[in-house]
Amino acid sequence: MSMYREALLVSIVGYGVSVWAYRLKNVVPSKLLRRLQGLSGAYSTIFTDAMNFTLGIDPLDLEICWRDTLTRVGVLTSEGTRKSLQEEWQDNWPPAIGDCSHQTPPKSLAGYGFVRLHAKPSLSHNSMKDSTVVIAFLARNKAHTLPYFLTLLERIRSDHNEDKTLEILKKWLSSLDGYYHSINAELLSSPPERLKDETGPANWPSSRFTHIMQLREEALMSARQMWADYIWFVDCDVFITNNQTLKILMAKERTVVAPMLKSDGMYANFWCGMTEEYYYHRTDDYKPILNREQVGCFHVPMVHSSVLVDLRRVASEGLTFVPSNIPSYKGPHDDIITFALSANRSGIPLYVCNDQVYGFVMVPLEQSDTLQHDYAQLTNLKLEVLVENPPLPVNELLSKYIRDPRPDTMGFNAIFMINLERRPERRQRMLQCFRELGIQAFTVNAFDG
C-alpha cells in the first residue's frame, strides 16, 4: 500500500510541477529535471508522463538557458552545446511505448540554471506544414551590426565592403549547415571597395540605387520561382528583438506588412505622408503611431527596412523594385519608393503594425558621414534598447567582432555609481551601459533609510 501512496504522491507532485512550469512558459529549473534522472521504474514513468501530458511535450525538446532568477532574461548556449545535450538525451531515451515516450534529461544539464521545454506537435491529417519564407538582405559595411543582426538567413547579397562584413558572413554561413532548406549567398570581395562614382560609404549615386534595385528584384524573382509563400526583406541595421515577429506578421494576412521599428530618435521604418514628388512628408498621424499612443496595423504610403510580402496572393505579382517594370513611371530612382508605387499601382495597401514591440532600426547616415558615425549610432541604439529591454544578444561565434571601447574614467580621478542593493536589475543595466560607453566606474552599495 505504501508503494501506491508514494506513486500517487509522485504523480501529484509531477502534475503540480508541470502546471507551474506551464504557467512560466515551460521554463523549469534544471535541478528538477536532474531529480528525474534519479527516479526509476514506475516513478520515472509517472513523472515524465505527467510533464509530457501537462506541457504537451512528446518528445521533449529543449533550449538551455543560464538564469540567476526566473524573471531575468537568460543567455542561450551555443548551438554546439545544445546539439550535444540533445544527442546525450536521445542516446539515453528508453524505447517509445505506444504513443508515449518516457524521457529523462541528460546529465549534462547539471551546470545550467533553468531549461525551457518546447512542444513537438503531434501530426494528424489536419496538420499544416509551416510556410516557406525567403529571407533576403543586403550586407555592406555592416560588420558592426552583423553580429547582432545575424539570426535568420535564406538569401544574401553582399559586395563592395570596406570592413569585415565578408569575414563575418563567411564565418556565420559555415555554421549554418542543416538549419535552412537552402542558402544562396554571393560574397564579392574584389576591388573596388566602392562603386565608381561613390565618394563615401553614405554616398548614394544613381548607380548604387540601380545596384540595390537589381539585387532586391533578383531576390523577389527567385522567391517567386521557388514557389515560396513569403519573402521577408530585412536590412542589416535592423534588430528584431521579438522572436515571434515572423509568425505574428504572417498571421496578419496582409499582402505587404511591416513591424514598426523604433530608433533612438523620431526615425522609424514607415511614412505616414508622401509629397507629390513621392518624397517623405511628416503628418500628424506619425507620432501617435511611433509612440504607440494608437496601437494596431495602419495603412501607410511607405514601409521599408523590414517588410514581409505574401507571395501567395495574386496581387503580389505586381510588386517590383525596378522602375522600368512600372508603366509610365515618373518617380525618383529609389528602390523603396519604386516598391511603394508598384504596390499602389497594383492596389496593394501597405501596413505597419505597432501592436507589439518588434525591434529597432538605426538612423541612416547623412551623405557626408563616415562609418565612425554609424559606430556611434549603434552605441546610441544599444543604450536605447537597454531602457526597457535586455542587451542585444550576440552569437558566441561572432562575439570577437564586437567593438567594445577600452574603459577609462573620462579624465576624472574616479567615477562612482551609487546603487541600492535591492535593485540588482538596475545595477546590471547601468553596468551594461558603462560597458557600451567605455566608462570605468566603482560601484558603491546604498541602503534605504
Q: 147 or 292, which is more confident?
A: 292
Q: pLDDT value at position 50?
A: 57
- Under the banding of pLDDT at 50, 70 and 90, the label for residue 426 is confident
- Note the pLDDT tens digit of each residue in 29-64: 555 555 555 555 555 555 555 555 554 444 444 444
Place of cell 522600368: 324
| Cα–Cα distance, 117 to 44 (Å, whole number) | 18
Q: Is the dihedral of CA 208, 212, 215, 217 positive or negative?
A: negative
Task: Determine how many CB atoms are found less than 10 A away from the CB of residue 192.
Answer: 8
| Cα–Cα distance, 209 to 334 (Å, whole number) | 6
Q: 23 or 286, which is more confident?
A: 286
- Note the pLDDT tens digit of each residue in 127-170: 566 677 777 766 666 666 655 556 333 323 333 444 455 556 56
Q: Could you tell me how far CA 383 lies from the centroid of its own chain? A: 18
- Under the banding of pLDDT at 50, 70 and 90, the label for residue 302 is very high
pLDDT mean across residues, the chain: 72
User: Which of 109-113, 218-222, 354-358, 389-393 is the most confident on average?
Assistant: 354-358
- Note the pLDDT tens digit of each residue in 194-224: 566 666 666 667 778 888 898 889 889 988 9
Cβ atoms of 436 and 382 closer than 8 Å: yes
Q: For the ranges 253-257, 297-301, 425-429, which has the lowest average pLDDT?
A: 425-429
pTM for the full model?
0.65
- Under the banding of pLDDT at 50, 70 and 90, the label for residue 72 is very low
| Cα–Cα distance, 446 to 449 (Å, whole number) | 10
| Cα–Cα distance, 279 to 22 (Å, whole number) | 49
Q: For residue 265, which phi and psi values (nearest 5 degrees)? A: -145, -140
Q: pLDDT value at position 190?
A: 43
Q: Is the pLDDT of residue 248 over 70?
A: yes
Give me the residue spans of the domains in the chain: 2-118, 133-361, 404-449
CATH, domain 133-361, list 3.90.550.10, 3.90.1150.10, 1.10.1370.30, 3.50.50.60:
3.90.550.10
| Cα–Cα distance, 112 to 102 (Å, whole number) | 22
Grid cell, residue 56, equals 504537451
Which DSSP category does 239 fall into? E
